[in-house]
């Protein structure tokens, strides 16, 4: 399996997300298991480094959380937009492919109709039927197949009638 630039970028993003989550868990554990403030001989307490964190106002922490959530949402929206663009490209490709397949299906139907028509014709007139389908004149068909001009004209009229019936259907 080969990795392209997109896969490598996604892998780096995933590693960074895991790293950030681990750091957040570590901070949460450190803040929940912080020791009590040290007591000085005079009876006043001296805060340790873990308590300094509480000195940050709650409003500031809430603002930081809101900004982090906003950034996360913006990143998610960007990713969704990229996904939508990719899906639109895939849909366009599929539509073109469906159009191509529909054209091929039409050609196959014509071919099958031609084969079915030749099966209904006597074997000695198979070549005449194929030439008439190609649009050759009755005289040219008669000359190539060694049949009379009247027979060639009859074959041509049968082919034209089949074409008209196919258009009516």
Q: What is the pLDDT of residues 80-135, one digit of tens each?
A: 999 999 999 999 999 999 999 999 999 998 888 777 766 666 677 788 888 888 88
User: How many CB atoms are located within 10 Å of the residue 159 CB?
Assistant: 22
CA distance 31 to 157: 95
Rounded Cα–Cα distance for residues 118 and 134 (Å): 13
pLDDT at residue 38 tops 60:
no
Distance between CA atoms of 24 and 164, rounded to whole angstroms? 77
Instruction: Give me the helices (H) in the chain, please.
Output: 5-32, 49-52, 58-119, 126-133, 138-145, 149-168
Phi/psi-derived region of residue 146, left when phi > 0, alpha when psi is between -120 and 50, beta in every other case: left
pLDDT bin (cut points 50, 70, 90) of residue 44 is low
Q: Is 43 helix (H, G, I), strand (E, B) or coil?
A: coil
Which pLDDT value is given to residue 40? 47
pLDDT of residue 48: 52
Instruction: Identify whether the C-beta of residue 110 lies closer than 8 Å to the C-beta of residue 133.
Output: no
Question: Mean pLDDT over all residues of the chain?
Answer: 82
pLDDT at 55 over 80: no
Asked whether the predicted pLDDT for residue 169 surpasses 90, the reply is: no
Question: Which of 42-46, 130-134, 143-147 has the lowest average pLDDT?
Answer: 42-46
Contacts of 140 (CB under 8 A, 6+ apart): 131
């Amino acid at each position: 399996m080969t990795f392209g630039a997109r896969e490598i970028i996604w892998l780096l993003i995933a590693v960074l997300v895991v790293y950030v989550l681990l750091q957040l868990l570590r901070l949460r554990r450190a803040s929940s298991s912080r020791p009590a403030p040290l007591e000085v001989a005079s009876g006043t307490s001296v805060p340790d480094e873990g308590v300094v964190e509480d000195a940050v106002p709650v409003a500031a922490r809430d603002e930081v959380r809101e900004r982090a959530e906003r950034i996360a949402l913006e990143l998610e929206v960007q990713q969704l937009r990229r996904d939508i663009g990719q899906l639109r490209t895939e849909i366009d490709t599929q539509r073109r492919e469906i159009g191509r397949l529909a054209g091929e299906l039409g050609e196959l139907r014509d071919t099958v109709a031609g084969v079915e028509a030749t099966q209904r014709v006597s074997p000695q007139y198979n070549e005449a039927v194929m030439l008439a389908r190609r649009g050759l004149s009755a005289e040219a068909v008669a000359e190539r197949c060694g049949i009379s001009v009247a027979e060639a004209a009859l074959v041509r009229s049968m082919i034209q009638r089949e074409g008209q019936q196919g258009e009516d259907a």
